[in-house]
Amino acid sequence: MGKTSGGRAILPAQSLQTLIDVVHSQGYRLIGPTLEDNAIVYDDLENVENLPLGISDRQSPGNYRLEDDPSAGYFAHVVGPHSWKRFLFPAAQKLWSATRVDQGFSIQTPEDETKLAFIGVRACEIKALQMQDRVFSQGPFTDNGYGEKRQNCLIIAVNCSRAADTCFCSSMDAGPRVTEGFDLALTELQQGRHDFLIETGSANGEALLKELVTRKAEDQDFAEADAQLAATEASIQRRMPSNIPEVLERHLQDEHWQTIESRCLNCSNCTLVCPTCFCSTVEDTTDLTGQHAERWRYWDSCFNTDFSYIHGGSIRQSGAARYRQWITHKLSYWHKQFGTSGCTGCGRCITWCPVGIDITEEAATFCEIDKRS
Amino acid sequence: MKTSQDPMTPNLFQVQRIRRELADTFTLELTAESNNEFPFLPGQFNMIYLFGSGEVPISISGDPAQPNRLIHTIRAVGSVTEGLKSCKSGDMLGIRGPFGSAWPVEQATGQDIVIITGGIGLAPLRPAIYHLLANRQRYGKIVILYGARTPADILFRKELERWRSRFDISVEVTVDQAVSNWSGRVGVVPKLINRADFAPEETTALICGPEIMMRFSVKALQERGVKEDHIYVSMERNMKCAIGFCGHCQLGSQFVCKDGPVFPYSQISSAFRIREL
Ligand SMILES: Cc1cc2nc3c(=O)[nH]c(=O)nc-3n(C[C@H](O)[C@H](O)[C@H](O)COP(=O)(O)OP(=O)(O)OC[C@H]3O[C@@H](n4cnc5c(N)ncnc54)[C@H](O)[C@@H]3O)c2cc1C
Ligand code: SF4
Ligand code: SF4
Ligand code: FES
């Protein structure tokens, strides 16, 4: 999947179902944004009706609310509590099972041939997928499950028609415009009409586009799309200071960590909603007969005290040390480990923090501390 | 079943022998079910899986020149290691590895070598010691400084005595608490560094033991003038994968599993300076 590969066309919104049908007909399991329990979550998509048409979201630190908005299109919402990582790196995953045989045991690895297609993937989310690629498939080892699933994954992206109050992708070089890493990119156009501008980003995307009944995209379509993206970008209020990687590392022992500790509940919400957090733990179990064992992998979080347990006690005993691990890993160490920030600026950790701790605000505070020192 | 080997799936090994070393410490001798050799570098470790119980990181303690047998020396401290202690010959275990970085036995050619270790920390260093002794002429002076809690806790005692009786290597053993029949040294290992015979500016130091012991050892070595990037330490952190996926072993920007466990001190000095990193 590369940059825009040239194919461009207009698909009327009333034909969106045909895109869904084509994806299904190629054997993909299609997943996209759907409405569930007052939140937009990613789930199986059978029908265009499953998309949250006419729904918009309001987000602020510690707050998420959906609103009916007759003018809102299919993708007018921004990111919700789910991220795509749950399909490539599931929250609970059986790694293998083992069965006792005479002297020892034999190991069986589960197989999963499902081909996944994602629709409604935003620029920051593509960036997040690419960050997880670096962890799971571009190091010395490849996670078999992740690597294969990801390679075969079809990405239908959307350009954001608006930003949430919590977004700061523009200062993370992660949006709002989708620039690479997709098969098809949609821009929802609603100025006196309801159309999608479709751009292709891969040969797969080209082939898909050929299956659809579209019309030629004209200059005015691009102009409307560009203006919409520019307006989205201009509306982004939050930002991440660019010198934050060095700043945090200079102040690992500042007393401000204790101030954050006094607010932080150590609930680990921020790591669970974060599209790039990759930490996991494993659990080994046997059944009652003792003949059958399984190994499962679960999402874990550096906010759990046990996370750093070694014989004799946990390394990060204090909440301050655990918050410091989280933010310095995201914003500083990630650069050294993977050559990029670990944050895309999606704002989920801000919205879903029960006490509204804001990563951009804490980063700004450390920059202030840095200036004073 | 998948054909490509998944790095999270163990290979089967059979216990050939289990040898009791100390009250809580034992050595397992394993061979691969596939009969394949198991080449490794001194300082590397494996993830050992005990059926249904769990998986733990354990350094290889055998001789790198004898890759037909996989040797691990383990102290029983918790659920998995206690379980491993009751293994019998014939039992099967799962092995993933070898993982991690190695002691710099090649880079240290021509240098004096000081090995500083305490307790079970001698096990991860034994492969390096075997290598140094097998290639004795390639190194300058070799000094081993080892500390144990009590004389009854001295690991590989027979081997230490054998090494000690050689003329081309100096071995000092100290205990924290003496008992009446102990005529050797009493005190902590870092205290031995001052008196040890090596040329600081030409020395590579290899350290493995409790973090506090490593911290004081580094300090004593620096005071004698050993260069920071010639001091190597083996770090211990919680590990759930050993291949950079689970995030548990992070130490600042380093992953102990894939960037370590053996680090030049210069690379991780902040870990010794900053609490709870
Ligand atoms: C690179 C490396 C090499 C090691 N080499 C040896 C060795 O050669 N011999 C030896 O006896 N011990 C070694 N250890 C320590 C050994 O891994 C722990 O003693 C062991 O994990 C304890 O597991 P448990 O289930 O018995 O204990 P519990 O206390 O029940 O531990 C529960 C879980 O916590 C984690 N854990 C606990 N202690 C440690 C620890 N110290 N390090 C990492 N994870 C831990 C493990 O995931 C373990 O399963 C090494 C550790 C590391 C990181
Ligand atoms: S740290 Fe917060 S803003 Fe950054 S990617 Fe994770 S959830 Fe999004
Ligand atoms: S260490 Fe913490 S911040 Fe970093 S990936 Fe793991 S859970 Fe996320
Ligand atoms: S042990 Fe899992 S990342 Fe190092």
B-chain CB neighbours of A96 within 8 Å are 6, 8-9
Closest CA to B38 of B70, B10, B8, B15: B70
Pick from A35-44, B39-48, B104-113, B263-272: least confident = B263-272
Closest among A302, A105, A154 to B14, alpha carbons compared: A105
Locate A220 and state its tokens. 């005015």
Q: Cα distance from A18 to chain B (closest Cα, Å)?
A: 36
pLDDT at A95 over 60: yes
Task: Over range A53-57, report the average pLDDT.
Answer: 96
Rounded distance between C-alpha atoms, residue A326 and residue B131, angstroms: 41
The CA distance from A124 to A130, in Å, is 10
Q: How many CB atoms lie within 10 A of CB B1?
A: 10
State whether residue A289 sits within 8 Å of chain B by CB. no
Longest pairwise C-alpha distance within chain B: 60
Residue A318 touches chain B, beta carbons under 8 Å: yes
Window 8-67 of B, Cβ < 8 Å to A: 8-10, 12, 14, 33, 49, 51-55
Q: Which two tokens stand for residue B221?
A: 């070595």
Q: Which residues of chain A lie closer than 8 angstroms to B213, CB-CB?
A: none
Residues in chain B within 8 Å Cβ distance of A98: 51-52, 94
Q: Hey, what domains does chain B have and what are their CATH numbers? A: 11-99 (2.40.30.10), 112-272 (3.40.50.80)
The mean of the pLDDT values for chain B is 95
pLDDT 10s digits, B216-257? 999 999 999 999 999 999 999 999 999 999 999 999 999 999
DSSP string, B196-251: ----GGGEEEEEES-HHHHHHHHHHHHHHT--GGGEEEE-----SSSSSSS-TTEE
- Judged by its nearest atom, the ligand closest to the C-alpha of residue A310 is 1
Query: Residue A39 in 3-state DSSP?
Result: strand
Mean pLDDT across A3-18: 85
How is residue A286 annotated by DSSP? E
CB B261 within 8 A of CB B235: yes
Model confidence at B2: pLDDT above 70: no
Atom 8 in ligand 3: which residue has the minimum CA distance?
Answer: A277
Single out the residue of A345, A161, A362, A164 nearest to residue A239, CA to CA: A345
Residue-wise pLDDT tens digits, A278-314: 999 999 999 989 899 999 999 999 999 999 999 889 9
Please tell me the distance in Å from B258's CA to the nearest CA on chain A.
9
Closest CB from B2, B33, B236 relative to A109:
B2
Confidence of residue A102 (pLDDT cuts 50, 70, 90): confident
- Paired strand residues for B208: B117
Q: Provide long-range contacts, Cβ within 8 A and 24+ apart, for A280-288.
A: A280/A89, A280/B240, A280/B241, A280/B245, A280/B246, A280/B247, A281/A307, A281/B240, A281/B246, A281/B248, A282/A95, A282/B55, A282/B240, A282/B241, A282/B246, A284/B49, A284/B52, A284/B53, A284/B54, A284/B55, A285/B52, A286/B51, A286/B52
* CA–CA gap between residue A229 and residue B22 (Å, rounded): 69
- Compute the average pLDDT of residues A335-342: 97
Tokens in use for A51? 């998309």
Counting residues of chain A whose pLDDT is more than 70, the rounded percentage is 99
Q: Under an 8 A CB cutoff, do A278 and B247 touch?
A: yes
A290/B121: higher pLDDT = B121
CA of B57 to the centre of ligand 1 (A): 6
Confidence of residue B81 (pLDDT cuts 50, 70, 90): very high
Residue B53 has pLDDT above 90, yes or no: yes
Can you point out the beta strands (E) in A161-299?
184-189, 195-200, 215-216, 280-286, 292-299
Helices (H) and strands (E) in chain B, counts: 6, 15
Q: Does B187 touch chain A (CB under 8 A)?
A: no
Which residues neighbour A90 within 8 Å (Cβ) at sequence distance 6 or greater?
none
Residue B273 burial (C-beta neighbours within 10 Å; 0-12, 13-18, 19+): exposed
Could you read off the pLDDT of A187-199 as tens digits, one per residue? 999 999 999 999 9
What φ, ψ does residue B222 adopt, rounded to 5°?
-65, -40
Structure tokens at A201: 């980003």
Q: Give the ipTM.
A: 0.94
pLDDT tens figures, A164-208:
999 999 999 999 999 999 999 999 999 999 999 999 999 999 999
Which residue CA neighbors atom 6 of ligand 2 most closely?
Answer: A274
pLDDT at residue A232 in the model? 98
- For the cut 50, the answer to whether the pLDDT of residue A106 exceeds it is yes
Residue A3's pLDDT is what?
A: 44
Residues of A in contact with B55 (CB under 8 A): 282, 284, 295
Mean pLDDT for chain A overall = 95
pLDDT of residue B1: 35
How distant is the Cα of B175 from the closest Cα of chain A, in angstroms?
21
Residues with CB under 6 A from ligand 3: A 271, 277-279, 301-302, 325-326, 329-330; B 247, 250
pLDDT band at A5 (very low <50, low <70, confident <90, very high): low
Share of chain A above pLDDT 90, in %: 94
Cis upstream peptide for B10 (omega within 30°): no
Q: How far is B110 from chain A (nearest CA, A)?
A: 31
The predicted pLDDT at position A144 comes to 84
Tell me what the mean pLDDT of segment A256-273 comes to. Answer: 97
Q: Tell me if the bond preceding A81 is cis, omega within 30° of 0.
A: no
What does the DSSP 8-state code read for residue B52? T
- Encoding tokens for residue B144? 């081993």
Count of beta carbons in the 10 Å neighbourhood of residue A209 = 20
* Ligand 1 binding pocket includes B98 (Cβ within 6 Å): no
- What phi and psi values does residue B130 have, to the nearest 5 degrees? -55, -45
Query: What does residue A356 show for φ and ψ, rounded to 5 degrees?
Result: 70, 30
Report the pLDDT value the prediction gives residue A36, as an integer from 0 to 100: 94
CB contact under 8 A, B248 and A318: no
Q: Which pLDDT value is given to residue A1?
A: 41
Q: Does B256 touch chain A (CB under 8 A)?
A: no
**Residue scoring higher pLDDT (A140 or A5):** A140
Of the pLDDT bands very low, low, confident and very high (cuts 50, 70, 90), residue A317 is very high
Which site among B51, B80, B257 would you substitute to test the A interface, given the most A Cβ atoms closer than 10 Å to its Cβ?
Answer: B51
- pLDDT at residue B4 tops 80: no
Token representation of residue B7: 């790095």
Is the predicted pLDDT of residue A2 greater than 50, yes or no? no
Does residue B117 contact residue B72 with C-beta atoms inside 8 Å? no
Q: With an 8 Å Cβ cutoff, is A107 touching chain B? A: yes
Rounded distance, CA B146 to CA B160, Å? Answer: 9
pLDDT value, residue B6? 85
